[in-house]
Chains A and B, each alone.
Chain A
Amino acid sequence: MSDILEIFMSASFWAAAIRIATPLIFGVIGALICERAGVLNLGIEGIFTAGAMAGWMAVWLGAGLWGGVLVAALAGGFFGLIHAVLTVPLGLSQHVSGIGVTLFATSLSYFIYRTALPDVSSPPRIEAFQSLDIPVLSDLPFLGPALFQQTPLTFLALFLVAATAYVLYRTPLGLAIQAVGDNPAAVESQGLSVYGLRIGAIVAGSAIMALGGAFLTMSAFDAFFFGMVNGRGWICIALTVFASWRPGKALLGALLFGAFDAFQVRLQTEVGSFIPGQVFLMMPYILSIAALIVVARRADYPRALLVPYFKGQR
């Protein structure tokens, strides 16, 4: 028992939780923006992969780290645009289009990687983001190593949570996005463009999702592997429901998941000798399903989610 308590007392546990949560924060914020505008984006898993590959490759080709981040966002925006065109003006099934985007983006990323590096046995490495040294805060006892020794992308993710909340609740653009996900007719009758808002939200949301992928290859690791996204995108879709489409709760959900994951790794080393490791790997997923069951039954879905809008149709 005291061993378990010790896990929570260690600064490295909290630092790991935040690190694991970072790509999820990007993903859930991106998914939330799309869904607030009324479009489910199941392209997220592929967009993660595309962001991871594109960002890494840009840096490997010499673009510099922030150049890589930009390239990743552009790649995400590109796949978002495909999804947006299929689901918004054409009004196709958002599920089918999203899965299609995931398959396409994943395969294309692998293809480009393999074509560019046909015969490497171990993935080439880049010089990844290093953790930021913030004066005073990083040097605080316990809190410093627990909270303030992260890479710049983690701070970007936290900034995006605040920025999304501000835009959504305090600006005319945010009101319009909330309205278009609830009742597009309200938006059109007020003279705004339903298609413009939805396409814009999907492209922006997808660009943010891709940063989650970029974090994996440019911050958490320093190379690109096949299958490295490993379901993180799908977790973000679940976390969006868990968060009731609110940025603050989205951050909380991502951190909670990160904490579960960090905890199971440490628990494995404590009691791993008599329970198979896979049980621990399952734990964060089981816990997030449990959390969803508790929260999502009362979830306040955007009313127009999944419903395509056609101008002039009754």
Chain B
Amino acid sequence: MARPAKDAPVLLRLDGITKRFGALTANDGVCLDLKQGEILALLGENGAGKTTLMNILFGHYVADEGAVLVSRDGGEPAQLEPGSPHAALDARIGMVHQHFTLAENLSVLDNILLGTEKISALKSARTPARSKLEDLMTRSGLTVGLDMRVSQLSVGEKQRVEILKALYRDARVLVLDEPTAVLTPQESDTLFAILKKLAAAGLGIIFISHKLAEVMASSHRIAVLRGGAKVADLPTDACSQRQLAELMVGHEVSETVRDARTPGATLFILTGISAGEGREALYDVDLDLKSGEILGIAGVSGNGQTMLAQVISGLETPVAGEMRLEGSAFSHANARMMIDAGLARIPEDRHRDGIVGAMTVSENLAIETIRKPDCQRFGLLRFTAMRDKAKAMIDAYDIRCQGEDSPARLLSGGNIQKIVLARTLEGEPKVVLAAQPSRGLDVGATSEVYRRLLDARARGAGVLLISEDLDELMRLSDRIAVIHRGHLSAAEPTETLDRGTLGLRMAGHTMEAAE
């Protein structure tokens, strides 16, 4: 892709940024330049310090050492007042946060206007703003209804509003934090096309990502962060995906591979399940899961996956349809009946639904088996037995914690997920329901999750993998079905599918239209 001119002026310079949170060094002497017209990808694992660095740039945090320098109107870069988003906006830096910073109760237009006018003004100047925005929308291709309430917008539209907010303030530097995390593949493609157009028009763009493929496809230059320090800064055409992965992780990465195997008998069947109402409802869902296979459910968040997981785990009663596990009906089951029948549930929001943060690691590990004799006798808990069991599981699953008595909330996301895995897979379940199991995890923890799911499959369990990550689905699943607006497509063997087709289906195109 077209590179910016060699002598393009530097818009932004980070000079030796160091930031510590207690004992943790989030950024360690990071230096970075951004030129006009350039798209720079900031690559790194979770916890590598990417977001912290960008929050310092935008004034949400103050760096302990180092400075942010910004060139104003083509001059030499000058230091930016630290700790002030206001100063960053004045220096024409725009930031699109991963968690959108939009007021949902206001219209799109009002969200964009927010903070751009004198607060003491007697009237919001909506009319001139509207015409400027309409001009911006035609030039950039970012279209969205200005009078819509933000709460009515889709995720992709909200992101467009965020970018428009920056453009409306005449941003020269645009920073996007994990911009594709919530988008379909098609929406991501559109986004990068727009970013390229904006860069060609003279913006400097930084986007944060941990997805190698999109970084390779859509940047001019790649800076890799690891453990808070910059470990590489390379032109994109001089990189390979493998090299980047190793730079990110710091050691060689082994690919998790799914071996070929013939699935066994049908284990778990949903017929005509309908549940819930509104956006998260399910309509007439059919599904069959065989022993020894991984069945992938692809879909963009908010298309009914949560409800599907709730129904299967017995937390939501379907209004119609039937659910059978090994031939017995479970349509009006509660969560305990499903666990007892052999269902392991890896919940989507592990912090909220996976652990009780204030309780200890050993209590969290015992929580699903608390009624079994090895955890209690005569209604009294056997803490010594629970601790011993916890110690064994902490070793087996490599849960990094201060010991089995430390509160679970102190653990990192990856280690919390390991608690969930240890607890649910320990009892050798027949069916494993894994909802977004690698979301927010780094490469190491993710490969651990994959290994455990494949182990369960090899043992003969049926694994239902609900995910938004197509790479993950294609790598792990034997068959993939797509969920869209509560309707589930028939599952097809992974070998017969490709990313493009799945992406279109996730966006709601029917099968005929995709062909």
Contact = CB atoms under 8 A, between A and B. Distances in A.
Contacts of A170: 123-124
Interface in A271-314: 300, 302-303, 311-312
A303 B104 contact: yes
B18 to A, nearest CB: 16
B89 A186 contact: no
Given A172-B113, A172-B117, A178 B99 contact: no
Interface string A153-183: 0000000000000000011110110110111
A311 B60 contact: yes
A179 B103 contact: yes
Question: In this complex, which of B89, B115, B117, B118 has the most chain A Cβ atoms within 10 angstroms of its Cβ?
Answer: B115
Given A188-B85, A303-B104, A303-B105, A176 B119 contact: yes
A124 to B, nearest CB: 42
B106 A189 contact: no
Contacts of B120: 173
Interface in A178-207: 178-179, 181-183, 185-192
Main secondary structure on B side of the interface with A: loop
Interface residues of A, number: 24
Question: In this complex, which of B61, B101, B113 has the most chain A Cβ atoms within 10 angstroms of its Cβ?
Answer: B101
A279 to B, nearest CB: 41
A176 B58 CA distance: 20
The size class of the interface chain B forms with chain A is 20 to 34
Nearest to B118: A172
A170 B122 CA distance: 8
A182 B100 CA distance: 12
Interface in B37-65: 55, 58, 60-61
Interface in B93-138: 95, 97, 99, 101-106, 110-111, 113-124
Contact of B115 (A190, A300, A312): A190
B382 interface: no
A183 B102 contact: yes
B86 interface: yes
Given A170-B123, A189-B97, A311-B60, A175 B106 contact: yes
A189 B116 CA distance: 11
A311 B60 CA distance: 7
A175 B101 contact: no
A43 to B, nearest CB: 25
Contacts of B86: 191-192
Contact of B105 (A171, A182, A312): A182
B6 to A, nearest CB: 34
Contacts of B88: 191
Contacts of A191: 84-86, 88-90, 115
Nearest to A185: B101
A173 B104 contact: no
A191 B95 CA distance: 12
A148 to B, nearest CB: 29
A183 B105 CA distance: 9
Contact of A312 (B60, B90, B101): B60
A173 B111 contact: no
Contacts of A303: 104-105
Nearest to B113: A175
Given A191-B89, A192-B115, A183 B103 contact: yes
A175 B122 CA distance: 12
Closest 4 CB pairs of A and B: A190-B115, A179-B103, A191-B86, A172-B117
Given A171-B123, A185-B101, A191-B89, 13 more contacts: A171-B121, A171-B122, A171-B124, A172-B115, A178-B103, A179-B103, A179-B106, A185-B99, A189-B95, A190-B89, A191-B85, A192-B119, A311-B60
Interface of A: 170-173, 175-176, 178-179, 181-183, 185-192, 300, 302-303, 311-312
24 contacts: A170-B124, A171-B122, A171-B123, A172-B113, A176-B119, A178-B103, A178-B105, A179-B105, A179-B111, A182-B104, A182-B105, A183-B103, A185-B99, A185-B101, A187-B103, A187-B115, A188-B85, A189-B60, A190-B85, A191-B85, A192-B119, A303-B104, A303-B105, A312-B55
